[in-house]
Amino acid sequence: MGDAANTARKVVALFALTLGVASTAAFAAQACPAPDKLRAEAIDRSFTQDKNLAGMSKPLHSEGRLTASSDAVVWHMTTPFDVATTITAKGIVQSVDNGPAQPVGPGSAEIGISVAKSMAAMMRGQWDELKTMFDVAVSPVPAAGDWTVKLTPLDPRLLSVVGIITVRGCTDVDDVTIERADGDRETIRFGVKSATTQ
């Protein structure tokens, strides 16, 4: 009788474990919505950025905050230097150490504005808007794990400046990897978004 009871308990335990694994797998399958389900009109995210430049043994590390509204994008690096770059439809200005904003040269403004608009659309999950500038390849959402979206610039000039962008996330954009033809690689990791963007 004792052996039968032990066997029965083992069967019940195994069944419970199987149900637990199945439930976890089912939850994981639902944990990451498709990347086009992202919704954020305003953006307020901290970031860390590591640039691995060809020929350099250590990456260049910086930290800061990205904010974006309907009419402006602000990329504010706070470490190792304080530089705020503000991009609007009128152009690009930079402020160093909270100093007066200075316009950025017109040669880089066109590409800068395009990149800024792309970053804002990317953080909002507006992939269709990016199709005018990028080949957008959305990977199938895995049963467990994050989705990825690969952006390849259609304009050769933009491709040479920006490179190929890979976006990874789940319920939000978690990190962005930029790979350029010259071997440079850049990784931007975003912190938890502000409650104002929920």
Other Cβ atoms less than 10 A from the Cβ of 150: the count is: 15
Residue type, 178: I
pLDDT band at 193 (very low <50, low <70, confident <90, very high): low
**Among the listed residues 49, 58, 39, 78, the one whose alpha carbon sits nearest the alpha carbon of residue 177:** 49
pTM: 0.74
Q: Is the pLDDT of residue 15 over 50?
A: no
Provide the CB-side half-sphere exposure for 160 (13 A, CA). 3
pLDDT for the residue numbered 150? 96
58 sits in which H/E element: none
pLDDT band at 151 (very low <50, low <70, confident <90, very high): very high
Identify the residue whose tokens are 């959305």.
138
pLDDT band at 7 (very low <50, low <70, confident <90, very high): very low
- Ranges of each domain in the chain: 1-31, 34-197
The fold for domain 34-197 equals outer membrane lipoprotein receptor (LolB), chain A (2.50.20)
pLDDT for the residue numbered 49? 94
Strand, helix or coil for residue 90: coil
- pLDDT per residue over 72-93, tens digit each? 889 999 999 999 988 887 778 8
Taking every pair of Cα atoms in the chain, the longest distance, rounded to a whole number of angstroms, is: 87
- Interstrand relation of 43-52 and 60-68 (parallel, antiparallel or unpaired): antiparallel
- pLDDT per residue over 154-166, tens digit each? 999 888 888 999 9
| Strands (DSSP E) found in the chain | 43-52, 60-68, 73-79, 83-88, 91-96, 102-103, 134-138, 147-153, 164-169, 173-179, 185-190
pLDDT for the residue numbered 32? 84
pLDDT for the residue numbered 172? 87
The gap between the terminal CA atoms of the chain, to the nearest Å, is 58
78 or 113, greater pLDDT? 78
